[in-house]
């Protein structure tokens, strides 16, 4: 039997296998007009193809809780009824294929208001330029050269964003999603609050570890408040900023030790799985990459916190993914670029491992 194709149950939800699709921005939503931020035909085919290919759980790209929370004006959002209705077509199809539909809800913070990645390499769109707006963050620290300094959020504005996460989670449920993932990674707003590299505040949301994690836990509590007890909530984290791993870098950042400590607290607040990535907050950090380079972070969280984990990062082969699950390093693997290259990766992996993946009746002759 293949460990990768064993079902996994989180709360009352059973996912048919442990090969999942990681959120990947498509930058293909309308930037304005009545369909602003709503998924369209591109998003449908993109997600539907991976479901037909046997992927057990699919997470949408980062879906913003507000217009100013988008990474780019072309991102998905879930703050109105039009968007909610458009998502129902997608979640319905995914369920029909036996795939669990999940949504990643997010706020970009200081990394907001940028171009699509294939236009000027995702250059910032400055306030006053077409489709540009002023980004916000815990502190007025710009992401990098050419980026606008974000406006420092007031406590009242922080509470408004917490409420936006709650409202988006409620809409996600109405749209048919069965998993909600809170995006706390890759240098976006929640990650910015967690890390001392970007959080320079001196009030109750900055300074100490307890203060820097306050916003994230408030978001978790807000989402868990409206998400059914029988359905799971995930949290995506950057397990390290990759600053303290470099002895030549004296800057203070979020660390793997912080992640283990925080994972225990997330579990107490109702998080069911930690989607464990790294980096994205310090643009010039030195990152040591290679096949499965982030898996050890997931493995450590699983062993030291008891929280279920997902592993990501340069997982490209079936036997590599199988070994991660069989060895107990993670409870699921999330594929990104490999699923862009091969939408039916799950079916190919099942054949290689002597297992079975869900295959549409129309494709049975290919099994």
Read off φ and ψ for residue 225, nearest 5 degrees.
-60, -35
| SS3 labels along the chain | CCCCCCCEEECCEEECCCEEECCCCCCCCECCCCCECCCCHHHHHHHHHHHHCCCCEEECCCEECCHHHCCCCCCCECCCHHHHHHHHHHHHHHHHCCCEEEEEEECCHHHCCECCCCCCCCCECCCCCCCCCCCEECCCCCCCCCCCCCEECCHHHHHHHHHHHHHHHHHHHHCCCCEEEEEECCCCHHHHHHCCCCCCCCCCCCCCHHHHCHHHHHHHHHHHHHCCCCCCEEEEEECCCCCCCCCCCCCCCCCHHHHHHHHHHHHHCCCCEEEEECCCCCCCCCCCCCCCCCHHHHHHHHHHHCCEEEEECCCCCHHHHHHHHHCCCCCEEEECHHHHHCCCHHHHHHHHHCCCCCCCHHHHHHC
Is residue 81 within 8 Å of residue 170, measured between CB atoms?
Answer: no
Catalytic residues: 188
Please name the residues in contact with 178: beta carbons below 8 A apart, sequence gap of 6 or more: 13, 100, 101, 102, 231
Tokens of 259: 């992640």
- CB-neighbour burial class of residue 289 (10 A; exposed 0-12, middle 13-18, buried 19+): exposed
Q: Quick one: which of 165, 206, 211 has its CA closest to 184?
A: 165
- C-alpha to C-alpha distance for 307 and 83, rounded to whole angstroms: 32
């Amino acid at each position: 039997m293949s460990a990768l194709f064993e079902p996994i149950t989180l709360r009352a939800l059973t996912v048919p296998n442990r090969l999942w699709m990681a959120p990947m921005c498509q930058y293909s939503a309308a930037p304005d007009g009545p369909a602003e931020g709503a998924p369209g035909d591109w998003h449908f085919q993109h997600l539907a193809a991976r479901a037909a290919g046997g992927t057990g759980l699919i997470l949408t790209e980062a879906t913003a809780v507000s217009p100013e929370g988008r990474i780019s004006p072309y991102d998905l959002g879930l703050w109105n009824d039009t968007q909610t209705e458009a998502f129902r077509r997608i979640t319905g199809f995914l369920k029909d294929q036996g795939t669990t539909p999940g949504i990643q809800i997010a706020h970009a913070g200081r990394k907001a208001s940028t171009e699509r990645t294939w236009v000027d390499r995702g250059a910032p769109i400055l306030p006053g330029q077409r489709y540009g707006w002023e980004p916000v963050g815990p502190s007025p620290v710009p992401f990098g050269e050419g980026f606008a300094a974000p406006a420092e959020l007031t406590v009242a504005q922080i509470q408004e964003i917490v409420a936006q996460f709650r409202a988006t989670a409620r809409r996600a449920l109405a749209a048919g999603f069965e998993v909600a993932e809170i995006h706390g990674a890759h240098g976006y707003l929640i990650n910015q609050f967690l890390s001392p590299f970007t959080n320079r505040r001196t009030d109750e949301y900055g300074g100490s570890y307890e203060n820097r994690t306050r916003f994230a836990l408030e978001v978790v509590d807000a989402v868990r408040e409206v998400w059914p007890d029988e359905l799971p909530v995930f949290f995506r984290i950057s397990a390290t900023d990759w600053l303290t791993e470099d002895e030549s870098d004296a800057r203070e950042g979020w660390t793997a030790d912080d992640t283990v400590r925080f994972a225990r607290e997330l579990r107490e607040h109702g998080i069911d799985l930690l989607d464990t990535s790294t980096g994205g907050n310090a643009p010039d950090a030195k990152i040591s990459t290679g096949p499965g380079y982030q898996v050890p972070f997931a493995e450590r969280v699983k062993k030291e916190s008891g929280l279920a984990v997902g592993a990501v990062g340069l997982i490209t082969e079936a036997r590599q993914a199988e070994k991660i699950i069989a060895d107990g390093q993670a409870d699921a693997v999330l594929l990104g670029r490999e699923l862009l290259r091969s939408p039916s990766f799950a079916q190919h992996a099942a054949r290689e491992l002597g297992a079975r993946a869900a295959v549409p009746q129309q494709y049975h002759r290919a099994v």
